[in-house]
A and B are shown apart, each in its own frame.
Chain A
Amino acid sequence: MKYPIIPYRIFPLGDSALTIDFGNVIDEDVNKCVFASFHQLQQDPLPGIIELIPAYSSLTVCYDVVTVKKRFHSGKTVFESIKEWVEDKLDQPFSFDETAAVEVKIPVCYAVEFAPDIEQLARTRGLSPEEVIEIHTLKSYKVYMLGFLPGFAYMGEVDERIIMPRKQQPQNILPGSVGIAGKQTGIYPFASPGGWQIIGRTPLKLFDIEKENPTLLKAGQTVQFYSISKNEFENY
């Protein structure tokens, strides 16, 4: 696929980062733009850029003001200098070959004891819990980004029939919990307070500090959930 890319807007995220905003949307093409830009900015990187954080529809560039200032002596702010560097990089035509999406199969036990919110979600959407499970496992999901917690994959989009907003009050959520928030689905790698509607739990380890690549999932992959019994979960 050939870029240049869709229009974007750059805004400062404080004094040590800026965000390239491609639009406030969950959209596969927009997300591809984010990762193409992520890839492009990694080529011949500017000293002082500490890291790049891709999200659904934005890419954030974190930088060290002191290091960048040494390079640009002009009267411009460091923010302006980085902004111009980004614009220049994204202005050049560049190619980005998305590696073929790897599909990862993830077992989920949807038993009520692992799924505190499945009954409420089913009732609200006029479905049975079995139908919720069927719909959730029917299609595969794209991993749009990792964020929030180490190894937490933001995936989408769920079938309209099981869309459910976040809860008002965050609950304590256990590791491995599979949840829904709006059109998104995701898995909590660690215990955490969170507002997602929890409909199951996976026995897989989403994050392993012992591994060189500690996250099970990566942005760009696709995920297919499949249902396992409580017995299978416990003996996994």
Chain B
Amino acid sequence: MSLKIIKAGVLDTIQDLGRYGNQQLGINPGGAMDKVAMQTANALVGNDLSEAVIELHYPASVFLFSQPALIALSGADFSASINGEPVANLRVIAVNKNNALQFHKPVNGARAYLAVHGGFEIEKWLGSGSTNLKIKAGGFHGRGLSKSDEIPFKYSIDFSVLLNKNEFKVLPWSADTCFPDDSKEVLVLPGNEWDKLTVTSKEIFTSTPFVVTKQSDRMGYRLGNNPLSSVSTEELISSAVDFGTIQLLPDGKLIVLMADHQTTGGYPRIAHVITAHHSRLAQLKTGDGIWFRLTDQLTAEELLLQQNRHLLQLQNACTFRLHQYLQKHGY
């Protein structure tokens, strides 16, 4: 009852909603980069939304199922196939024993998610299944997945009746993406040092595109931009930063902190990408441009509440469809 890695991808890790409550010790939350996509995959297979999933980067691993399972893919489209036949994201797929799942080309987005009905059997560290690569803890032995790894499922259900004689089966419904936008605009809230930017820098920030450079990873994205400048030279004493915090580096460039961000920092916090738009950030690739637009606290909170409502509706609908379908087929 497991998933075997036939060929390793560049960076595939187990992630959930993150590890909270330990930042006072310098332990960062981590977790999935695109938490909406991660939760969507869980909703589709009838899991708790917080269940740990596999986060995939392209080129992604090739997986072999050692037994039938219900799976779902979400987030980036890496042109997935099962036994060579294309399969779409946002569907529930009943896979058979010895089915191979692989990914052929990055069509859009940067991070895809693979959820399995029931979840993966992994050891939690400090209450979370997320992989912390820096300290080699959590997830699958604290590291990215590599060849010959076998990730066990929490429990096994025999889906062979469902599959009849078919190799695999895509169940007859799909989820709409929560926010099906590949919009390159992200809303930001002004940071504590926003007012320290020069007038020209504020103008550049809100009216020109910022490009995601190669120096970008799960910790943060360095942006290629015309240098911004601050009117203040006061050095800041380290204090907490968060996912989405946009810091001004000494050379005038910007860095947006992502899931594996450090807990504290001392660079000016000029803005914060609103939580509802973290998924947009998470799906950016090197070379993509983004535009920042200022918003206010109320709008940011409303969008986040909306996103959450949408996820809960999706979860209810998916659970209902899945139960109905499985019942009809004698489960």
Contacts and interface: CB of A to CB of B under 8 A. Distances in A.
Interface string B213-238: 00000000000000000000011111
B190 to A, nearest CB: 9
Interface in B17-68: 20-28
B111 interface: no
Contact of B297 (A69, A77, A209, A214): A77
B135 A190 contact: yes
Given A13-B269, A145-B238, A53 B264 contact: yes
A193 to B, nearest CB: 10
B246 to A, nearest CB: 10
A168 to B, nearest CB: 7
B301 A69 contact: yes
Interface of B: 20-28, 125, 132, 134-137, 142, 189, 191-192, 234-242, 244-245, 250, 262-265, 269, 272-275, 297-298, 300-301, 304-305, 308
A190 to B, nearest CB: 6
Given A146-B25, A149-B262, A209-B125, A55 B240 contact: yes
A145 B237 CA distance: 11
A215 interface: yes
Contacts of B304: 15-16, 65-66
Nearest to B135: A150
Given A51-B24, A55-B240, A78 B264 contact: no
Contact of A150 (B27, B235, B298): B27
Contact of B239 (A60, A152, A209): A60
29 contacts: A12-B297, A13-B192, A13-B240, A13-B245, A14-B272, A14-B300, A15-B297, A15-B301, A17-B240, A21-B192, A25-B237, A53-B23, A53-B264, A55-B237, A55-B238, A56-B239, A58-B237, A62-B240, A65-B304, A80-B297, A146-B24, A146-B25, A147-B23, A148-B26, A151-B25, A154-B238, A207-B135, A209-B136, A209-B142
Given A13-B242, A77-B298, A65 B189 contact: no
Contacts of A209: 125, 135-137, 142
B305 A65 contact: yes
Contacts of B274: 14-15
B301 A190 contact: no
A219 to B, nearest CB: 8
A57 B135 contact: no
B264 A77 contact: no
A15 B189 contact: yes
A57 to B, nearest CB: 6
B44 to A, nearest CB: 21
A57 B265 CA distance: 13
Interface residues of A, number: 50
A15 B191 CA distance: 11
B237 A26 contact: yes
A107 interface: no
Interface in A145-188: 145-152, 154, 168, 182
A214 B25 contact: yes
B134 A56 contact: no
A102 interface: no
Nearest to B245: A14
Given A19-B239, A147-B238, A150-B134, A79 B301 contact: yes
Given A56-B239, A147-B238, A150-B135, A14 B244 contact: yes
Interface string A72-107: 000001111000000000000000000000000000
A50 interface: yes
Contacts of B300: 14-15
Given A65-B305, A79-B297, A209-B125, A150 B26 contact: yes
A142 to B, nearest CB: 14
A43 interface: no
B169 to A, nearest CB: 35
A152 B23 CA distance: 11
Interface in A4-31: 11-17, 19, 21, 24-26
Contacts of A57: 237, 239
A147 B21 CA distance: 13
Nearest to A52: B24
A14 B275 contact: yes
A54 interface: yes
Given A60-B239, A148-B238, A13 B305 contact: no
